[in-house]
Structure 1
Amino acid sequence: MQRNRFLSDILSTLFDRSSNLPKTQDARDIYALCRALLSEEGEVSGQKLAATVLARYRGLSDAHKLAFFQFLNDELDIDAAALAPLTTEYAAKPSVAGFKRLSHAAEPKRQELLRRLNQPVGATEELVSMRVDLLELVRDNPELARTDLDFVHLLRSWFNRGFLVLKQINWDTPARLLDKIVAYEAVHEIDDWDDLRRRLYPPDRRCFAFFHPAMPDEPLIFVEVALTEAIASSVDDLLSDAREPLTAQQAKTAVFYSISNCQRGLKGISFGNLLIKQVVAELSLEYPNLTHFVTLSPIPGLNKWLATQTNDEAIGPAAQTMLEGTATAEQTRAMAARYLITAKRPDGKPVDPVARFHLGNGAEVHAVHANADSSPNGRAQSGGAMVNYLYDLSKTEHHHENFALRSVVAASRSTLALSTAPFTTKSKEMTP
């Protein structure tokens, strides 16, 4: 991690400035300011105009924010009438000049506005927050999704892998960042500072986060890792305050037990696959004794799926017992395996979002576990069941290709066998 820390410190020094954008006394409304920013005036004094627009936006009411996004969506859209003849012209004669005219006409003016708004210090964070507002409004105003596509297009460019910095979060990390780790934890809630210390301080615990140099104090995504001797089967055991820590050198397995996205405004911009792969690379270099890289993941859609299976002749009784909380451990494991392997969307991909994420990264469904998460959330979403996804570095590329092109769910033999285990209709137990 030392080489990444050096780069990280340099970038943080360069970009660690206040994100409070200056206020100005320009009397024009926000629409006139946006038009000015897109004009020659904006080319001359763009940073000042952009800061004014962003400051003005922060003061808008919810109704005026809706009007602002409607302005972006309608008045700064593509001019389809102008685009059509340019497309015909370029199809007939694909010249450089024709391509330039076509490209200019094919890009909505709001994309250029967003680029120019991103000039002042702190503007990137402001635009990420602006997209949070937009996502809320899209629910009741679906036509605004056109503008959201432009946000996503630009944010993917601004937040590509080349700009991301990996940092290790530990007990010596500044308290302002630790507070955010507590607040952003989305999988296994952090109860208090003692709980956080148990996840960061022991020698067999790690936490890594991606940062962007324009937002040095805001983690984008982080992963919590437990270094263990064997593949973990219970998050209750991993997070127990009574456990005996290992030395890092004793560990044979790295268990990724929590991955949390931190910025709602970056929804749809994927960092998780990059984070896992880089953390695997970092840990492999630091601890060559590690032989397995696995997750211990929730199964968030299991109980919802079970509720749709209660009338199924083959598995209905077992589904009902799971929903009632009276299923055996073996039934729980079998139903979880069946769900992960066979429950599919119309496009052939798994129903479960966590499964889609890890399988898409090239992992395989390695093992399912009953009574692995006794928290209220764990019981509510999966009856306490959890799953290991195994990252076998020699197979991830092959698994990813099979999943992406053919929707093949890679799984261990034991999990595949569990997923097809028969159930009797008169007993709560599986038939042998």
Structure 2
Amino acid sequence: MSRSEWIGRKVSGWLPTGKSKVLPLAPAQAPATQARPAKAVGPKEGQVRSSKERLNATLRQKEEALSPRVLRRTLSELQAIVDPSVSEVEGGKRAKGVAQWYSKAPPEQREDCWLLMSEQFAPDASKVRAAREHYEAALGTPDEGVAEIRMRKALVSPRTRLLQRFAVFPEGMRFLVDLRQELMPALKSNKRLLALEAELENLFTTWFDVAFLELRRISWDSPASLVEKLIKYEAVHDIKSWGDVKNRLDSDRRCYGFFHPRLPDEPLIFVEVAFMNEIGVSISPLLDEAAEAVDLSRATTAIFYSISNTQPGLKGVSFGDSLIKRVVETLRADFPKLKTFATLSPIPGFRTWLNKNAAPMLDLTPEKLRSQLGRAVGFEPAAAGHVLSALDQAPTLSDRSVLRQWLLSCAAHYLGKELSEGRPVDPVARFHLGNGARVEQINWAADPSAKGFKQSFGLMVNYLYDLRKIDRHRQGLSQGKVPVSDSVEQLYF
């Protein structure tokens, strides 16, 4: 311990409680021997202290990663990044230095860094309050526009500037996307981080707008590092081998991805397309490496059989609908004979939903069909547990099985009628129906994999993109009506 540090600690200990003087923060390059301020009165034992309380303290509590002294030094380094006297380039260099420290820091210290960013770089409350009062007073007057501009400026937080400086250096965008990915799981247990997460999402919505994204085809001739990314990020149907990925990138297939100039080798989202002469009803032929190549000059149908988001840190940033539209435009230009654009999609939430809602679905089931179910499962009247147990044998059920008929009806209800806040409860349905597609066809035993059976008893669904009716379908969905085909509507109880 240096002499100045020892003296600072002794002097702070002599000051009366509640009147301790907090010394000003040192600049980023200040030595770590700065005198410590007196310990401020904080929360009771066991309570989590805010970053403000910790910055004004002398000692850290057991559960805190960074000591008050190191926390103050870290805050000084973050403040130096947004110092108005330094250039954008210099600010970016300082941000890079913090990012290098962060990359080596353990999770607990990273969370302390998040807390500083979230709590210590908020908008000036007094300026926001004054600007709001000015705006409210100016409503309906010629000064309303000026007042609105003032309020907008007051709401821009130093946190925005801080994050913008991190985006300056070449690896900065990657750093911020990864930071948000790591941050999001901590939100449930630490609400103090919400402001930082919301700020990141808001910036990403602008930085990753589709106007700044490039649509690129990914083929077998693409760099090996890019092909490896497909294997890594494929989220719908796992890629099992190099032969599997070669089949998906063959001459009779197409794969397209959106790329951002600051993440040039990372597809943000990609879609895999197969060409056929009719709507596909099973995933097995599409993944069959031994299947004959399709004659592209005669194909009439494009099947989107896998769409994968690759960056969890960009959750909430929507560009999937734009990807499909851009791909459809590209395919129509390259293959004029294509008339039908549809998906072959999983139903990932169906089995979990049915396990919870089998009893209500049995209540909706017509009496005659319910009696048939009872005879089929050996219990009359059939209860939810009896039916769910029998469905463990779903892949072996015959075409005429009453269990099969009941399961298809439940799937139609789930996709066409189950809504939460006006939106489909199934995540894949929410995506495609929100883009203007309609539920076209439910396919039995379409995904024989263990994953497919676990998610939906092996069922898959086709969503049809009728380019003439996309806007109509969207409007109907906004009014709570899910667009479905006649064949799906006939499955309703």
TM tier, shorter chain? 0.7 to 0.9
Displacement after TM superposition at 1:96 (Å): 5.7
Alignment-derived partner of residue 396 in structure 1: 470
Q: Distance in 2 between matches of 1:27 and 1:212?
A: 38
Task: Return the letter of the residue paired with 2:413.
Answer: R
Aligned partner (choices 418, 427, 443) of residue 353 of structure 1? 427
Measured at CA, do residues 335 and 97 of structure 1 come closer, stay the same or move farther in structure 2, by a change above 3 Å?
A: closer
SS in 2 for 1:365: strand
Q: Secondary structure at the match of 1:257?
A: strand
Aligned-residue CA RMSD (Å)? 1.9
1:61 matched residue in structure 2: 106
Instruction: Write the distance in 2 (CA, Å) between the matches of 1:26 and 1:240.
Output: 61
Query: Any unmatched runs of 5+ in structure 1?
Result: 1-24, 421-432
**1:214 paired to 2:262:** yes
Give 2:483's match in structure 1, choosing from 395, 405, 410.
410
**Change over 3 Å in CA distance of 1:27–1:388 after alignment to 2:** farther
Contact 2:279–2:342, Cα closer than 8 Å, also in 1: yes
Pick the aligned partner of 1:115 from 146, 159, 164: 164
Mapping of 1:185-196 within 5 angstroms?
Answer: 185-196=234-245
Q: SS of the residue aligned with 2:292? A: coil
Q: How does 1:25-36 map onto structure 2 within 5 Å?
A: 29-36=73-80
- Greater CA drift, 317-326 or 185-194: 317-326
Q: Which letter does structure 2 place at the counterpart of 1:289?
A: K
Give CA deviations for 1:204-250 in whole Å, capped at 9, x if unaligned: 21100110011101110000000011100000121112322111112
Q: Give, in whole Å, the separation in 2 of the partners of 1:174 and 1:252.
A: 30
> How is 1:27-46 mapped onto 2 (pairs within 5 angstroms)?
29-43=73-87, 45-46=90-91
CA apart distance, 1:73: 1.5
> For 2:490, what is the secondary structure of its paired residue?
helix
Tell me how far apart the structure 2 counterparts of residues 266 and 42 of structure 1 sit (CA, whole Å): 30
Larger radius of gyration: 2
Please say which of residues 157-166 and 131-140 is displaced more in the overlay: 131-140
Match of 1:75 among 110, 120, 142: 120
Equivalent in the alignment of 2:15: none
What does the per-residue CA deviation read over 1:242-268, in whole Å, with 9 as the maximum and x for residues that have no partner? 322111112110000000001111111
* 1:224 alignment counterpart: 272
Contact persistence 2:350–2:456 (CA under 8 A): yes
1:400 and 1:320 map into 2 onto residues whose CA distance is 38
Distance in 2 between residues matched to 1:318 and 1:250, nearest whole Å: 45
The one-letter code of the counterpart of 2:423 is K
Do 1:72 and 1:147's aligned partners in 2 also have CA atoms closer than 8 Å? yes
Match of 2:47 in 1: none
Q: Which residue identity does 1:407 align to in structure 2?
A: G
How much does 1:324 deviate?
Answer: 5.2
User: What is the deviation of 1:38?
Assistant: 1.5
CA apart distance, 1:334? 2.4
Query: What displacement does 1:76 show?
Result: 1.1
Q: Is contact 2:119-2:192 (8 Å) kept?
A: no
CA distance in 1 between partners of 2:113 and 2:443 (Å): 50
Aligned partner letter, 2:208: F
Match of 1:341 in 2: 416
Q: Which residue of 2 aligns with 1:12?
A: none
Aligned residue for 1:311? 359
CA distance in 2: counterparts of 1:208 and 1:157, whole angstroms: 22
Aligned equivalent of 2:450: 376
3-state DSSP of counterpart to 1:250: coil
The corresponding residue for 1:273 is: 321
Give the drift of 1:200: 0.6
The residue identity in structure 2 corresponding to 1:129 is D
SS at match of 1:285: helix
Q: 1:305, 1:323 → 2: CA distance?
A: 15
- Three-state SS of the structure 2 residue aligned to 1:294 is strand
2: CA distance, partners of 1:35 / 1:268: 29
1:332 deviates by: 3.5
Match of 1:239 in 2: 287
Q: 1:419, 1:97 → 2: CA distance? A: 56
Structure possessing the higher relative contact order (Cα contacts under 8 Å, 6 or more residues apart): 1
Give ranges in structure 2 of 5+ residues lacking alignment: 1-27, 32-72, 366-383
Distance in 1 (CA, whole Å) between partners of 2:123 and 2:158 is 7
One-letter code of the match for 1:52?
Answer: G
- Gap change, CA 1:86 and 1:229, over 3 Å in 2: same
Provide the residue aligned with 1:300 in structure 2: 348
Q: Which stretches of structure 1, 4 residues or more, deviate above 6 A after TM superposition? A: none
Q: Give the distance between the partners of 1:53 and 1:30, measured in 2 at CA.
A: 8
Residue 352 (structure 1) shift = 0.6
> Does the CA contact (< 8 Å) of 2:436 and 2:471 recur in 1?
yes
Give 1:65's aligned amino acid: R
Secondary structure of the residue aligned to 1:248 is coil
Secondary structure at 2:165 match in 1: helix
Partner of 2:180: 131
Instruction: Please report how far the alpha carbon of residue 98 of structure 1 lies from its aligned counterpart in structure 2 after TM superposition.
Output: 3.9
8 Å CA contact 2:302–2:340 kept in 1: the answer is yes
The match for 1:51 among 90, 96, 117 is 96
- The SS at the match of 1:149 is helix
Shift, 1:354, TM fit: 0.6
1:419 and 2:419 matched: no
| Alpha-carbon distance change, 256 to 221 in structure 1, aligned in 2, over 3 angstroms | same
Letter in 2 for 1:259: I
TM-score (norm 2): 0.76
Task: Give identity over the alignment, percent.
Answer: 38
Give the aligned residue type for 1:89: H
Inter-partner Cα distance in structure 1 for 2:353 and 2:170: 47
TM-superposition CA deviations, 1:142-194 (whole Å, max 9, x none): 33122111000000100001110011011100000000100000000000100
CA–CA distance in structure 2, aligned partners of residues 42 and 96 of structure 1? 32
* 1:26 and 1:52 in contact (8 A); partners too: no
2:213 aligned partner: 164
| Aligned-partner Cα distance in 2 for 1:137–1:305 | 27
Deviations 1:358-402 (A, max 9, x none): 000000000000100011110000000000000000001111122
> Scaled by the length of structure 1, what TM-score is found?
0.86
1:82 deviation in Å? 3.1
Shift of 1:319: 5.1
